[in-house]
C-alpha cells in the first residue's frame, strides 16, 4: 500500500484550534486538541487532515472537522458512535461499509449524512470512521441495507501516517 504524502501544510493559530475544539466538543462530547500547540491542516491525497507531529488526529468529511481513529483513541468521545457486533469486526477492520444487521447500538442523535465513528460491542474501542446513510434509530431497527459508508479505518493509509 503506497503511503500518503502530506502536502500544503498550514499551521493553525490558537483561535482556529479553539474553534475546532468547540465544534468537535458539540458533536462528540469530548474536548480534543486542548493540549496541542502544533496542530496543522494538510492535504494527503483525496483527504484533508488535521495533523500533529505527522500523526493524523482529525479529518474533514464534507467540509466538517471530525476525528480520525487515532484522534478517538487520544480523546475518547461520548456521542455519534455506532456499535457493531463482534461478527462484523473482521469486515470493518478490512474497510467494509457497515451493514444494518451488524449494528447493535447507535447514538440517537445521528442523522443521515453525519460523520460517525464505529466501535465494537466488547471493547467499545474505535475501529473506523464513516458517514451515516440513515439515522441512528433507523440503523438499530433496520433488517438490511448499508447503514454507514466507511471513510477511514484501522490499518489504512491515514492510520499508517502515525507509524512513520
The CATH code of the domain that includes 52 is 3.10.450
**CATH code for the domain of 134:** 2.30.130.10
CA 13 and chain centroid, separation: 23
Q: What is the pLDDT of residue 162?
A: 62
pLDDT for res 164: 57
Last residue of a domain, one of 75, 107, 125: 75
pLDDT at 35 (0 to 100): 76
Statement to judge: residues 86 and 139 lie in one domain: yes
In a domain, 163, yes or no: no
Those residues whose C-beta lies under 8 Å from the C-beta of residue 69, and which sit 6 or more positions away, are 117, 126, 127, 128, 129, 152, 153, 154, 158, 159
pTM reported for the whole predicted model: 0.92
Considering the domain architecture, whether residues 88 and 55 belong to the same structural domain is answered as: no
> What's the pLDDT score for residue 127?
96
**Which pLDDT does position 163 carry in this prediction?**
67
Q: What is the pLDDT along the chain (164 residues), one digit of tens a residue?
A: 557 888 999 999 999 999 999 999 999 999 998 877 789 999 988 999 999 988 999 999 998 999 999 999 999 999 999 999 999 999 999 999 999 999 999 999 999 999 999 999 999 999 999 999 999 999 999 999 999 999 999 999 999 886 65
CA atoms within 13 A on the CB side of 46: 5
Amino acid at each position: 500500500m503506497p503511503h500518503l504524502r502530506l502536502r500544503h501544510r498550514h499551521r493553525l493559530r490558537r483561535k482556529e484550534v479553539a474553534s475546532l475544539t468547540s465544534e468537535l466538543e458539540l458533536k462528540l462530547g469530548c474536548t480534543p486538541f486542548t493540549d496541542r500547540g502544533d496542530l496543522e491542516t494538510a492535504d494527503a491525497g483525496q483527504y484533508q487532515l488535521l495533523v500533529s507531529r505527522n500523526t493524523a488526529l482529525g479529518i474533514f468529511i464534507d467540509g466538517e472537522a471530525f476525528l480520525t481513529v487515532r484522534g478517538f483513541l487520544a480523546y475518547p468521545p461520548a456521542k455519534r458512535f455506532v456499535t457493531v457486533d463482534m461478527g462484523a469486526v473482521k469486515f470493518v477492520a478490512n474497510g467494509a461499509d457497515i451493514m444494518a444487521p451488524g449494528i447493535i447500538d447507535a447514538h440517537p442523535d445521528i442523522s443521515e449524512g453525519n460523520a460517525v465513528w464505529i466501535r465494537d460491542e466488547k471493547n467499545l474501542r474505535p475501529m473506523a470512521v464513516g458517514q451515516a446513510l440513515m439515522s441512528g434509530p433507523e440503523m438499530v431497527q433496520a433488517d438490511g441495507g448499508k447503514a454507514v459508508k466507511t471513510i477511514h479505518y484501522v490499518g489504512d493509509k491515514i492510520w499508517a501516517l502515525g507509524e512513520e
